Amino acid sequence: MARALYSLVLRLALPLALLRLWWRGRREPVYRQHLGERFGRYAERPGRSVIWLHAVSVGEARAAAPLVRALQGAFPESDLLLTCTTAAGRTALAQIYGDRVRCAFLPYDLPGPMARFLAHFRPQIGIMMETEVWPNLLSACRARGTPVMLANARMSRKSARGYRRFAWLARPAFGSLAAVCAQDRGAARRLALLGAETVVLCGNLKFDVEPDPAKVEEGRAFRAALRGRKVLLLASTREGEEALLLDALGEDDASLLVIVPRHPQRFDQVAALLAARGLAFARRGLGEAPHAGKRVYLGDTMGEMAFYYASCDVALIGGSFQPLGGQNLIEACALGAPVVLGPHMFNFAQATRQALAAGAALQASDAVEAMRSARALLGDPARCAQMGAAGIRLCAAHRGATERHLAVVRALIEAPAPAGVRARAPG
């Protein structure tokens, strides 16, 4: 009954969802492509068995990279299908993995489209990244005998409260998961309370992500070419945060401010904001260089965070100056960038606590305090070096989540199908 009501609401909202896709397609044309996939209609049927991993958008696509490599090495006889929901996610999948994997949009969570998706690809296993729990999808997988695991699972207190408000729908969904690989003990406890039955503490896959060596080298060369000019990075900023941080910037013209918006559809918006404030800036996406007269360098490119972190002296992490939960700070730590965080890091609570305890990060109460802390660090190379080294040590100490995830995948694939369900097709 609960799923039937949920499905009815989705069906009623479908015209609005399609209008939204078309509207967003003005700036991101990929939203207007592959529309049939949103309804479970795909062209080529795979000829081999399929391992399926769902990464909703860019962050999950990048976090999945070490697990994707491990799966390709452990199951060379299988095709790897990666699904996503957003246009940026699909672009990221293509950039990161190229033609080594199959890419597709996951359908809307309606019984018919999900049944067609599963019938077409016949996956041995489904791997959902971080917080992706879809009631109709999980029900269809369970009916077909397809085990689904939640990988790199996180669950903040705020998110858990939201799920509890819809426990009538959420508990059966979490209970349908064959396994949950939790990032930390707090997430594991909250996921178990929401109904997940098999919860394994596996750690955070993001500690296993290897930065692109070519981008790291390019970033270091960029920094060297600045001839000692300090670089302050505003990384993965979200709506409204650029204005807050620019208001707190101050009048120091010596350093170069690099701004990398989180979403590509906002690149032009941020450029317009900089122009309106009379700030001279260069755009990386146009191949422009930040000469001495340029105060700001706009990082309007995708898939280059390794470049930006390798080129900076201090990194402020976006998504944390509005109540949005923050963005990934681990890649910055891995490349030895001292990190300054805003007050809202609840989506990365464990990694934040670890970085603060290790001395790799500072946390500020607002944008003004964050800018003050960042400027102090720019003037203190010794402390920057200490924080950078602490971040590198932190990441080295917490690697190993990939192997623990892979062990869970192997166990689920090798387990016999439960009685009373249709056997999984071999592909």
Same domain as 405, residue 362: no
What pLDDT sits at residue 273? 97
Catalytic positions, written as ranges: 60
| pLDDT (mean) for 410-423 | 68
With 60 as the cut, is the pLDDT of residue 322 above it?
yes
Q: In this structure, are 184 and 42 located in the same domain? A: yes
How many domains is the chain built from?
Answer: 2
Provide CB contacts within 8 A for 251, sequence distance 6+.
Answer: none
pLDDT band, very low/low/confident/very high, at 131 (cuts 50, 70, 90): confident
CATH number at residue 122: 3.40.50.11720
pTM, rounded to two decimals: 0.87
CATH, residue 222: 3.40.50.2000
User: What would the DSSP string read from start to end of 211-239?
Assistant: P-HHHHHHHHHHHHHTTT--EEEEEEE-T
Domain that holds residue 257: 213-397
**Any domain includes 9:** no
Same domain membership, residue 344 and residue 222: yes
pLDDT tens for 205-256 read 999 999 999 999 999 999 999 989 999 999 999 999 999 999 998 776 689 9
In a domain, 10, yes or no: no
Instruction: Tell me, yes or no, whether 15 lies in a domain.
Output: no
CA–CA separation, 173 and 292 (whole Å):
56
165-168: long-range contacts (C-beta < 8 A, 24 or more apart)?
167/194, 168/2
Whether residues 335 and 390 fall in one domain: yes
> Are both 153 and 270 inside the same structural domain?
no
Rg (CA), the chain: 22
pLDDT at site 58: 87
CA distance readout (Å), 292 to 45, 192, 254, 314, 349 = 55, 55, 9, 19, 38
State how far the Cα of 319 lies from the Cα of 341, in Å rounded to an integer.
9
Q: Which of 54, 325, 1, 2 has its CA nearest to residue 177? A: 54
Domain check: are 39 and 188 in the same one? yes
Task: Tell me the per-residue pLDDT of 60-93, one tens digit each, with 9 for 90 and over.
Answer: 999 999 999 999 999 999 999 999 999 989 998 9
Chain centroid to Cα 228, Å, comes to 33
pLDDT digits (tens, 9 = 90+) for 280-314: 999 999 999 998 789 999 999 988 999 999 999 99
Residues 189 and 49 both lie in one domain: yes
Examine the domain organization and report whether 329 and 251 are in the same domain: yes
Q: Are residues 275 and 376 in the same domain?
A: yes
> Beta strands 179-182 and 199-201: pairing type?
parallel
In-domain check, residue 174: yes
Do the domain assignments include residue 158? Answer: yes
Its sign, for the CA torsion 364, 365, 370, 373, is: negative
Which are the contacts of 424, defined by CB distance < 8 A and separation ≥ 6?
122, 124, 144, 145, 146, 417
Contacts of 417 (CB under 8 A, 6+ apart): 145, 423, 424
pLDDT over 50 (residue 379): yes
Q: Which pLDDT score, from 0 to 100, does residue 47 have?
A: 87
Q: In what order do the strands lie in the sheet with 179-182?
A: 102-105, 79-84, 50-54, 123-129, 148-153, 179-182, 199-201
pLDDT score of 306? 96
- The answer to the question of residue 12 being in a domain is no
Listed residue (160, 334, 340) closest to 241, CA to CA: 340
Q: Decide if 175 is inside a domain.
A: yes
Q: How many angstroms from the chain centroid is the CA of residue 125?
A: 21
Q: Are 137 and 176 spatial neighbours (Cβ–Cβ below 8 Å)?
A: no
Length of the chain: 427
Domain presence at residue 280 = yes
Together in a domain, 176 and 151: yes
Mean pLDDT of all residues in the chain?
A: 93
Tokens of 57: 């958008």
Which tokens in the block code for residue 301? 């490119």
Kindly compute the dihedral angle of the four CA atoms of residues 76, 200, 328, 370, in this order, to the nearest 10 degrees: -170
Amino acid at 114: M
Residues 259 and 386 in one domain: yes
> Do 71 and 105 share a domain, yes or no?
yes
* Paired tokens of 35: 């529309």
DSSP codes of every residue in 289-332: ---TT-SEEE---SS-HHHHHHH-SEEEETTTTTTT-----HHH
Q: Are 296 and 274 in contact (CB under 8 A)?
A: yes
> What is the pLDDT, as a whole number, of residue 291?
85
Check: CB of residue 303 under 8 Å from CB of residue 96.
yes
